[in-house]
Chain A
Amino acid sequence: MRSALHALAAAAAALPLVSLPVRAGQIEEAKTGLNLFSYQERDGRIGVLSPTAWVQAPVARDLDFEARVTFDSVAGASPQYVSNEGGPVVHTLSSASIREWRKEGMFKATRWLGDDSLSLGADVSSEHDYLSQTLSTDAKFEFLNKNVTWAIGASVTGDAISFTGFPDIHQRRVTRGVFTGITQILSPTDILQSNLAFTNGRGYFDDHYEYTVSFLGRRVFLDRDRRPDARHSLSWLTRWKHYVPALGAALGLDYRYYQDSWGIRSHMSELSWHQPLSTTWSARPVVRYYTQSAASFYSTTVASSSGVSSSDTRLAAFGTLTLAFNLSARLGDRDTFEIGAGRYVQRSSWRFGSGSPDLPRFDASYAMLGWTRTF
């Protein structure tokens, strides 16, 4: 059979055509990978170790499939109550160290209809006292010679919450979401994406392991975390990617605005720089600033009569700064290895405006290892 190739090559060589050395990598159709993510809060608080395996592959000419499984191992102690027993308000960790596991599995199937696509996805996450199940769908349409992609989608999440120590009590929450987004190629070096998402959640939002202790003179008040039974949110994310030909690098600029019916308003800005260092190595430093206002019912002392109150620090007003650095190496034509580390620092005073008083400093660091193979 090789003689046919040689005869054709010889006939082509008689023409005034260049004959180039054939040098190509493997044609890649599918990807699979393993990731290991580690997160550790300072002062012996929560630590998470999270391995993930994933795959993306075409299963038919007009059908793509992706799936992911994650196991989280959570260990340490979480803030459990807030007390002003000694005068100032103090966030106190639970006395017992916890160790929990979370399992998550997701899959998504995408059916292509010409240039447009329709996806269906499902996601299940389970812990010993928590089960979350999501169904989602989205559609993507191409316009203007594929320079514009319009996406719309919807999802519904059902959460079942139970209580350690109270086997007869079960609570539920349902969150519905919709989103729409436009991705526009502005020039050969610029892509702009803007997504708008709304969620509407109803049900049980309390953190039943958290409570607030207040000392007023000789009287002691104990209040369990109680939150509204509805949460509606709006999130608007805009991303700009700019390729810098002179450096072969890409600049990323993201901004996200978020607001919800609990009174939280947040702004997130992220700046990233993807710089190839050689044919093998590339680096990606990231800096992110985040600021949020407090939920209207956030309080570190027992609320009067409003009925809802929480001292959960995640509902406070604060600012955070994240610095991260990722290094990736492409070895051979098929394998990419990635190593990354980041530091997350939260301060009440870093909020744009003013933060919640009495909020403790909060630092965390994370690291990740990743391997991706194309085949």
Chain B
Amino acid sequence: MSCRNEIQLFSDSSETAQAAFEETVEEVQRIELLWSRYRPDSIVTCINESAGRKPVVVDEETAGLLDYAATAWRESDGLFDITSGVFRRAWNFSSDHIPTKETVNACLPLVGWDKVVWQRPEIYLPVSGMEIDFGGLGKEYAADRVASLLVEHGWIALINLGGDIVASAPRPGDEPWQIGIRNPDAASRLSGHLPLYSGALATSGDYERCIEVNGQRYGHILNPRSGWPAADGPASVSVIAQNCLLAGTLATVAMLKGVEAKRWLDSMGTVNHLVW
């Protein structure tokens, strides 16, 4: 994973802590091998290379995540869509200019979960050039898997995979973990501070990859229906939920809800923090 990962756990001995730590590293690497779109032998690469040609049978774990992605697409009215990675062909967030409408529109026929034929355990991308991407789910899932392993072994731990955070239990003495929520514009400045006893925190923001043109900020979280980021949306959304997968999905969808983001999250009774 190309991000900073950290696991803190309480242990009586460094040997058992080291063993637990190694087990979590193996699990993260396993998930990366399985779903990375950068690896030629991953199931995601296989599905994408088969687009427009043939269906692909997937393993049980991948099927579970595809079911989750289908639910997320449906419940978000299409705002959460694992086929929207195609827009990377139009948007270059390391440049200082935005794409033309024509370039973005050219991607639209290749985006849309409604086009995908998903009949467990087979998935078929019917148009050549379509892609799926677990970028919005994989890291969150990995953080949850690591938490699951540690909870099974009874560890009290805090997992932080590049900002996707899970607290398995309160610190000894029923103390909360103190979590700093990054400011969109300054990594060193915390925009908020959260005492987290248990649960997961995921943050979605446009601060790491965005283009600013004439004072207008174009974040990398794009609306799958238009190919453009939400206008007047928050700069960063943090959500706390029972696992990171759920928290991450809610945070990403809220980013695309624009001015409605806060109301949408509050209506579901979530604990959330938005920076505009």
Are B148 and A16 interface neighbours, CB within 8 A? Answer: yes
Bound-state CA distance A164–B92 (Å) is 71
Give the distance to chain A from B101, nearest Cβ to Cβ, in Å: 29
Are A11 and B188 interface neighbours, CB within 8 A? Answer: no
Bound-state CA distance A329–B132 (Å) is 51
Are A115 and B199 interface neighbours, CB within 8 A? Answer: no
Stretch in contact with the other chain, from A2-10, A190-198, A309-317, A357-365: A2-10
Bound-state CA distance A17–B159 (Å) is 14
Give the distance to chain B from A33, nearest Cβ to Cβ, in Å: 15
Are B141 and A15 interface neighbours, CB within 8 A? Answer: yes
Residue of B nearest to A16 (CB): B148
Interface centre among A5, A278, A279, A333 (most CB of B within 10 A): A5
Q: Is A335 on the interface with B (CB-CB < 8 A)? A: no
Residue of A nearest to B195 (CB): A25
Are A12 and B246 interface neighbours, CB within 8 A? Answer: yes
Are B184 and A61 interface neighbours, CB within 8 A? Answer: yes
Q: Is B245 on the interface with A (CB-CB < 8 A)? A: yes
Give the contacts of A122-176 with B (CB-CB under 8 A). 142, 146
Q: Is A96 on the interface with B (CB-CB < 8 A)? A: no
Bound-state CA distance A9–B199 (Å) is 13
With A4-B75, A20-B166: A12-B68 Cβ-Cβ less than 8 Å = yes
Are B273 and A27 interface neighbours, CB within 8 A? Answer: yes
Are A1 and B268 interface neighbours, CB within 8 A? Answer: yes
Q: Chain B interface: which size bin? A: 35 or more
Residue of B nearest to A3 (CB): B75
Are B275 and A15 interface neighbours, CB within 8 A? Answer: no
Give the distance to chain B from A11, nearest Cβ to Cβ, in Å: 4
On chain A, the residues within 8 Å of B270 by CB distance are 5
With A17-B245, A112-B185, A279-B173: A24-B271 Cβ-Cβ less than 8 Å = yes
Bound-state CA distance A15–B264 (Å) is 25
Stretch in contact with the other chain, from B83-91, B107-115, B218-226, B234-242: B234-242
Q: Is B50 on the interface with A (CB-CB < 8 A)? A: no
DSSP majority for the B interface? mixed
Give the distance to chain B from A185, nearest Cβ to Cβ, in Å: 12
Bound-state CA distance A278–B173 (Å) is 7
Are A24 and B184 interface neighbours, CB within 8 A? Answer: no
Interface centre among B147, B188, B249 (most CB of A within 10 A): B188
Q: Is B145 on the interface with A (CB-CB < 8 A)? A: yes
CB-defined interface of B62-106 with A at 8 Å, one 1/0 digit per residue? 001101100110111000000000000000000000000000000
With A15-B64, A27-B194, A61-B275: A7-B268 Cβ-Cβ less than 8 Å = no
Q: Is B243 on the interface with A (CB-CB < 8 A)? A: yes
Are A17 and B199 interface neighbours, CB within 8 A? Answer: no
On chain B, the residues within 8 Å of A62 by CB distance are 183, 185-186
Q: Is B208 on the interface with A (CB-CB < 8 A)? A: no
Bound-state CA distance A20–B159 (Å) is 13
Q: Is A304 on the interface with B (CB-CB < 8 A)? A: no
On chain A, the residues within 8 Å of B188 by CB distance are 112, 115-117, 142, 146
Are B199 and A23 interface neighbours, CB within 8 A? Answer: yes
CB-contact partner of B242 in A3, A21, A28, A58, under 8 A: A21
Are A15 and B185 interface neighbours, CB within 8 A? Answer: no
Are A11 and B67 interface neighbours, CB within 8 A? Answer: yes
Give the contacts of B5-41 with A (CB-CB under 8 A). none
Bound-state CA distance A23–B193 (Å) is 15
Stretch in contact with the other chain, from B51-59, B121-129, B174-182: B174-182
On chain A, the residues within 8 Å of B170 by CB distance are 23
CB-contact partner of B269 in A2, A17, A333, under 8 A: A2
Are A58 and B199 interface neighbours, CB within 8 A? Answer: no
Residue of B nearest to A31 (CB): B193
Give the distance to chain A from B206, nearest Cβ to Cβ, in Å: 12
Name B residues whose Cβ lies closer than 8 Å to a Cβ of A: 61, 64-65, 67-68, 71-72, 74-76, 141, 144-145, 147-148, 151-152, 166-168, 170, 173-176, 181, 183-189, 191-201, 235, 238, 240-243, 245-246, 249-250, 264, 267-271, 273, 275-276
12 extra A-B contacts, CB within 8 A, seeds A1-B268, A14-B67, A114-B185: A1-B264, A2-B269, A5-B268, A5-B269, A10-B71, A15-B64, A17-B145, A17-B243, A18-B168, A20-B242, A27-B273, A276-B173
Chain A to chain B: the 3 pairs with minimum beta-carbon distance, closest first: A25-B195, A23-B197, A1-B267
